Amino acid sequence: MSTPDAVAVLDMDGVLLTLPLDTDGLRAAAELELRGAGMTRQLRPFMQPLEASLLELATRAPERADALRARIWGLIDAEERRAAELARPIPGARAMLDRLQSAMPVALYTNNDEQAARRALTVVGVDPTRFFAVQARTQPRSLKPSPTPLQTILDAAGPGVRRLYFVGDHPWDMQSAVQAQRSLRQVGRADVTVIGVALLRSRWSAEILGREGASFVARDHAEVADWVLADRARGDASSA
Ligand SMILES: [Mg+2]
């Protein structure tokens, strides 16, 4: 597997494990902090509008924005560290990971802080070193649906990769795949196909996930592995 032609990238929360994150509490705290800086904002979804608000504030009051950014992201980091200790496994996730990894290298792409993500994986018994690359929230500007982390993973995988499967449970995951495909084309790498594979959870419908770019919507983890392995095999057959 030293020169892979396909890689799988997994989202963490909702795909490999669940985190009891108090997102509503974080949202309320962040909205309060922004209101203190004269900005009334509804942070729903959470991280992208938060980041946009902080960037907007930075154009008016850079020092204030820096302090506010540090405070709010500090709250988020702390909540993620707390939730990581309480991470719960998802039935079927481990078997899916094992099957995917028997066929291709697997990486992780999460919006969570890297340390918290590694801790959460360890808590549910998944060794983080199983992933050949971990793209986490090292900087807020590369949050999903930024295409950059998937491109970084692709670079780490080596030049032979022709298919990248990104398995996620959120519309942003699917948008990340679409955007990564678009930016690869722009840099002349149309030889790589980025494929969004959605895992259907309770929150988003198959229709929405499909509209946001999922090539396949799986009802469970076994279906994810079935589909990815079959698609990979079809690719092998057509290029033989
Ligand atoms: Mg998720």
Centroid of ligand 1 to alpha carbon of 73 (angstroms):
19
Asked whether residue 129 is domain-assigned, the answer is: yes
The contacts of residue 58 (CB under 8 Å, 6+ apart) are 65, 66
Q: Give me the domain span that covers residue 183.
A: 6-18+88-239
Shared domain check, 185 and 138? yes
Centroid of ligand 1 to alpha carbon of 80 (angstroms):
14
Which CATH number goes with the domain that contains 234? 3.40.50.1000
> Mean pLDDT of all residues in the chain?
94
CA quadruple 179, 215, 226, 110: dihedral, nearest 10: 30
Centroid of ligand 1 to alpha carbon of 110 (angstroms):
8
Asked whether residue 131 is domain-assigned, the answer is: yes
The contacts of residue 62 (CB under 8 Å, 6+ apart) are none
Residue that terminates a domain, selected from 65, 84, 103: 84
Asked whether residue 1 is domain-assigned, the answer is: no
135 vs 118: CA distance, rounded Å: 11
Q: Residue 2: pLDDT above 70?
A: no
pLDDT at res. 240: 55
Asked whether residue 213 is domain-assigned, the answer is: yes
Shared domain check, 44 and 14? no
pLDDT in tens, 25-76: 999 999 999 999 999 999 998 988 999 999 999 999 999 999 999 999 999 9
Shared domain check, 106 and 186? yes
Residue that terminates a domain, selected from 63, 84, 105: 84
Shared domain check, 103 and 146? yes
Beta strands in 11-79 (DSSP E): 17-18
Centroid of ligand 1 to alpha carbon of 140 (angstroms):
17
Exposed/middle/buried for residue 193 (C-beta within 10 Å: 0-12, 13-18, 19+) = middle
pLDDT at res. 95: 98
* Mean pLDDT calculated for residue range 234-239: 76
pTM (two decimals): 0.94
Going by pLDDT thresholds of 50, 70 and 90, the confidence category of residue 236 is: confident
Shared domain check, 73 and 98? no
Q: Residue 141: pLDDT above 90?
A: no
164 vs 168: CA distance, rounded Å: 13
Centroid of ligand 1 to alpha carbon of 170 (angstroms):
6
Shared domain check, 101 and 52? no
Going by pLDDT thresholds of 50, 70 and 90, the confidence category of residue 199 is: very high
Domains in the chain, number? 2
Asked whether residue 38 is domain-assigned, the answer is: yes
Residue that terminates a domain, selected from 84, 103, 120: 84
Centroid of ligand 1 to alpha carbon of 240 (angstroms):
35
pLDDT in tens, 3-17: 799 999 999 999 999
> Does residue 92 come out as left (phi exceeding 0), alpha (psi in the -120 to 50 range) or beta?
left
Centroid of ligand 1 to alpha carbon of 18 (angstroms):
9
Centroid of ligand 1 to alpha carbon of 72 (angstroms):
21
Centroid of ligand 1 to alpha carbon of 199 (angstroms):
9
Centroid of ligand 1 to alpha carbon of 15 (angstroms):
6
Q: Residue 1: pLDDT above 60?
A: no
pLDDT at res. 143: 87
Q: Please give the share of the chain, as a percent, with pLDDT higher than 90.
A: 89
pLDDT at res. 102: 97
Shared domain check, 186 and 226? yes
Q: Where would I find the H helices in 88-205? A: 93-103, 114-123, 148-157, 171-186
Shared domain check, 198 and 103? yes
Centroid of ligand 1 to alpha carbon of 59 (angstroms):
32
Going by pLDDT thresholds of 50, 70 and 90, the confidence category of residue 126 is: very high
Exposed/middle/buried for residue 160 (C-beta within 10 Å: 0-12, 13-18, 19+) = exposed
* Mean pLDDT calculated for residue range 168-181: 96
Centroid of ligand 1 to alpha carbon of 11 (angstroms):
6
The one-letter amino acid code at 53 reads S
Asked whether residue 190 is domain-assigned, the answer is: yes
The one-letter amino acid code at 189 reads R
